[in-house]
A = this chain, B = another copy of it.
Amino acid sequence: MPIDTRHPRQIREDIRNGRLRGVTAGLGRNYVQANLAVLPKEHAYDFLLFCQRNPRACPIVEVTDAGSPEPVAVAPGADVRTDISRFRIYRHGELAGEVTDARPYWRDDLVAFLLGCSFTFEWAMIEAGVRLWHVEHGKGVAMWSTSIPCRPAGIFHGPMVVSMRPIRGGDLARAVTASARFPGAHGAPVHIGDPAAIGIRDIARPDWGDPQEIAPGDVPVFWACGVTPQAVALASKLPFMITHSPGHMFITDLPNSALAAL
C-alpha cells in the first residue's frame, strides 16, 4: 500500500476539501490515528469515567471542551466535524445516516472523544519484525464481543470487544513487548491462545471485520479493541451520537511514540 508521508495537517486539509475520501490506513505514516465518539455533555461524565475504568479498550487521546470541535492538544486548528472523511450518525442506538460533513449535526452541548487505535501498535509490531497477515493481505482484523466484562460506569456497561491477529510462535514474545510499549493504544494483548477462554465460539467467524487465516504454528492473539466504547455507547441507546465510519479515522499531529510508556 502506498504511504502518504505528508504532515497530518496537509492530509486533514485534503480530507476537509473532499480530495481524500477513503479509509486512512497508510496515511500520515508514524502519526497517531484515532477513533471518534461524539456525545452530549449530559452523558460525557459517564463516558469519560467508563474510559478511565477501561483504559485497555478505551485509551483516551483527547477530549474536547463542550461545544468545541477542535482537539487543541493533539491537532490544533483541526475540526473533527470536517477533518474525517466519513461519519456515522446514531439516534437512540440506531444508525440514522452516514455523512461526509458533520457540521449540520453539531450542537453546543457536544463533546468529542478521540480514542487510541490499533494502527499505532500494529506499526510498532511491524517495526519489530512481526508479520501481520491482515496487513500483508489488505484485509481488516477480526473482532469479537467477549465474555470479558468491562467495568461499568453510570449508563455504560457491556463486554470488552477484542481484535484478533494470528501471530507466528516465533514472533509471539515480540508481538507482546512491541504492543505493550503503547498503553495509549490498547497496549499488550488481553489474551493469547484458546478463544473459548474469553467466550469466542467460532474463531472462523468474527462478529466484525474479516476472517483471518490461521496457519499451522500461528497462535491467535487478542487485543482490547476501540470498538468497545462504541458498542457500549450504542447499547446504552444514547439519544444522539456521532462516530467516525469504520476505518475512516481522525489523524492527529501526535507521533506514535507519544502514546508509548515513558
Q: Mark A33-52, 1 if CB is under 8 A from B, else 0.
A: 00000000100110011001
Number of copies: 2
A142 within 8 Å of B (CB atoms)? no
Total interface residues in chain A, CB < 8 Å: 20
A237 within 8 Å of B (CB atoms)? no
Q: In the complex, how many angstroms separate the beta carbon of A156 from the nearest chain B beta carbon?
A: 12
When distances are taken between beta carbons in the complex, the residues of chain B under 8 Å from A187 are 262
Q: Mark A173-184, 1 if CB is under 8 A from B, else 0.
A: 000000010010
Asked if A52 meets B53 with Cβ closer than 8 Å, knowing A151-B73, A261-B262, A262-B261, the reply is no
List 22 A-B pairs, Cβ < 8 Å.
A41-B45, A44-B45, A45-B45, A45-B48, A48-B49, A48-B52, A49-B63, A52-B52, A52-B60, A52-B63, A53-B63, A53-B73, A65-B153, A65-B154, A73-B151, A180-B262, A183-B183, A183-B261, A183-B262, A187-B262, A188-B262, A261-B262
